[in-house]
Amino acid sequence: MKRAFALPLLLVFLLTGCSGRTSAGQAAGTEQTPSPEQSSAAQPVTGTVFAMDTVMELTIYGGEDLLSAARERIEELESKLSVTEESSEIYGVNHSGGGTLSADTADLLSRALDLCGRTNGALDLSIYPVVRAWGFTTGEYRVPGRGELEKLLAHVDYTRIDLDEASGRVSLADSMEIDLGSVAKGYTGDQVIALLREHGVTSALLNLGGNVQALGGKPDGSPWRIAVRDPFGDGYVGILEVVDQAVITSGGYERYFVEDGQTYWHIIDPAAGAPVRNGLVSVTIVGESGLVCDGLSTALFVMGLEDAAAFWQQSDDFEAVLVTEDGQIHITEGLEDVFSLPDQGSGLEGVTVIRRG
């Protein structure tokens, strides 16, 4: 079996800043937790949580109690949203064709369904039976036959997920199953940031398995520097400077298998029931809402470069970095001043800027 891509630990990683006593690299990388006496706005508390099938690193400029509160909130959301945990709300709904959701789950489902509509079904939360048929839920990978996929696709249609947000009642048409894997981490990041904000935190960085979400900037007011992973290796294609924003990547290299020389990855084109193959290898979305960025990173990957650019042109709530399989980098114009290449001296040479006009 040939490996098409290096398998990185993190899909977006953090760079050491160049000045000040704190740096993004320190913030994301260290496991050391200061004692309560040391905890102050000048010294972050850091911690690791394993949840949602990934390692999450939290860096909070605030007290130790906030780290525990953030951890509890993540665990609470995981226990509601997991597609595999038998006690979760989503598992319950998937196995009984409906049910009543908590306010969190109803809120996420409602907003994620809006994204399915907005992306014209490139994002489809009912894709789960197809994801499972390819083995992405268990790691027992296989290429399903055409007939099998056609049968499964008959149960894929997000418009048949019927949700009454006020009461939380949801019902699914027969044999449908919901998968929130494309949006759950982004939503969780938003919820943790809201919680920290309520407690007066003005600086924090969450790395939820490659989904990076920033609260404020660094304590000295400078932006966080977030590296966008190179889909072809362990390096990075560029650095984004952000304040109060999410930077969320969908990459083909995150989960994939190779059979008969062909690479199949975990992002599925709902129209075909098969891993999408359109020339893109990674899509990074930058914006205020983690949920929106997470949903759109998956959706724009499905759309392909041209349709993704057209979609961005009609939107005003995100920017994007798109990398194609021939190594070309495309950025939307709102990132022109905040994106830089690893070789600082070369400006944006070789990068294509997608413009509105």
Please give the residue ranges that form the binding site for Mg ion (CB under 5 A): 182, 294, 297-298
Q: How far apart are CA 275 and CA 122, in angstroms?
A: 12
Does position 246 interact with ligand AMP (CB under 6 A)? The reply is no
β-bridge pairing 12-14 and 224-229: antiparallel
Q: Cβ neighbours of residue 166 under 8 Å, at least 6 residues apart?
A: none
Contact between 268 and ligand AMP by CB under 6 A: the answer reads yes
302 binds ligand AMP (CB under 6 A): yes
Give min distance, CB of 18 to Mg ion, in A.
31
Q: Could you please report the per-residue DSSP string of 233-252?
A: SSSEEEEEEESS-EEEEEET
* Residue closest to 71 by CA, chosen among 180, 206, 203: 206
Q: What is the longest distance spanned by two Cα atoms in the chain?
A: 63
Contact between 270 and ligand AMP by CB under 6 A: the answer reads yes
Q: Is 191 in the site for ligand AMP (CB under 6 A)?
A: no
Q: How far is the CB of 298 from ligand AMP (least distance, A)?
A: 4
* Residue 339: contacted member of Mg ion, ligand AMP, none (CB under 5 to 8 Å, by partner type): none
Among 14, 267, 286, 354, binds ligand AMP (CB under 6 A): 267
Pick one of ligand AMP, Mg ion, none as the site partner of residue 181 (Cβ within 5 to 8 A by kind): ligand AMP
Q: Which tokens go with 322? A: 């798109």
Q: Does 127 bind ligand AMP (CB under 6 A)?
A: yes
What is the per-residue DSSP string for 109-131?
Answer: HHHHHHHHHHTTTSS-TT-HHHH
Least distance (Å) from ligand AMP to the CB of residue 128? 7
Closest to Mg ion by CB, 74 vs 292, is 292
* Cβ neighbours of 245 (radius 10 Å): 25
Nearest 5°: phi and psi at 292?
Answer: -65, -45
- Residue 119 touching ligand AMP (CB under 6 A): no
Smallest distance from the beta carbon of 250 to Mg ion, in angstroms? 5
Alpha-carbon gap, residue 353 to 331, rounded angstroms: 5
Residue 78 vs 294, nearer CB to ligand AMP: 294
Residue 267 CB, nearest approach to Mg ion (Å): 9
Query: Taking the complex as a whole, how short is the minimal distance between the CB of residue 299 and Mg ion, in angstroms?
Result: 8
Q: How many CB atoms lie within 10 A of CB 316?
A: 9
# of chain residues touching ligand AMP (CB under 6 A): 18
Token pair of 69 as six digits: 């509160």
Task: Return the H-helix or E-strand segment holding 93.
Answer: helix 89-96
Binding site for ligand AMP (CB under 6 A): 123-125, 127, 131, 136, 179, 181-182, 250, 266-268, 270, 294, 297-298, 302
